[in-house]
Amino acid sequence: MKNIFIHEVGMRDGLQMEKSVVPKEKKLEWIDQLVSANVDIIQIGSFVNPQRMPQMADTDELFQEINQKYANTRHPIFSGLVLNEKGLERAINSGVQLICMGVSASETHSQKNTGMTTSDALQRIIAMAHQAKSAGFAVQVSVQSAFGCGFEGRVSKERVLSIIDKYLENDLFKISLADTAGHAFPQQVEDLFGEILKRTDKAELTCHFHNTYGLGMANIYAAMQMGVEYFETAFGGLGGCPFTKIASGNVATEDFLHYLHRLNMRKDILLPQIVDLARQVSDFFGKTLPGCVYQAGILNY
């Protein structure tokens, strides 16, 4: 088991499904709490069409304000998601520290999410990744629907690995496998990440699991055993892709962190602050979130 890093995606993946648009000032409060909790990476938002996703309309402004606020202080890495060249241009102008982009292994999901075929999206994403890296930005590339698709069902391992191979051929080694539909199971997780590790020892691997069928934490455990280092989770278990068939929440950051603390790992990340944030978010939206620990409380032994 290598080092473990938490990439908090609640501000993007968590909020994108919520119909109640969160005011920018409230988002900044929540980001400040995540910063003070010592989370490793915080995904601030996505650079997408605001008419299509109003919740993300203030992403550029959020980056400008947080970059100014934390310019001279130690802080987490601030990441953002882009889908196309226009989004990349906005991300570069906003000073994003880690630019995330990806391709869906499902043709149906790719069309619904980006309006492109997988092949077209892959060609464009690789070109965008080279552009971002040439401009001095760190880039993470992903395979979405890597473990299955809500519309198509099974996605072949060979299809996923063909995308991975293109990334590796283009010297893109920060790679995420995203379980967009929540279909993954532990043995599949071990198999896919194992295949990547057979291909290269340069990869920095990330996993992103949704808890649609209740296997999110089991899949995280399997990824940890395979040596995956980066874990994308969301406070309270918020989230879900609006362009998949059944949108379900992410693994809750506080649930994963609670497990790490039981292992005496990553105690530098402050669990009580993330639990408190999950409760605040629950109150804001007036509903119970999927996360467990914020409801049950923290075990202190």
Q: Are 159 and 194 in contact (CB under 8 A)?
A: no
**CB proximity list for 182: less than 8 A, separation 6 or greater:** 209, 210, 211, 212, 213, 215, 216, 246, 248
Query: DSSP letter at 10?
Result: I
**β pairing state of 230-233 and 204-209:** parallel
Beta bridge partners of 7: 41, 232
53 dihedral zone (left: phi>0; alpha: psi -120 to 50; beta): beta
CB 102 within 8 A of CB 143: yes
Whether the CB-CB separation of 257 and 34 falls below 8 Å is answered with no
Distances (CA, A) of 206 to 31, 131, 175, 246, 278: 22, 22, 6, 23, 23
Catalytic center residues: 241
Beta pairing, strands 138-144 & 77-82: unpaired
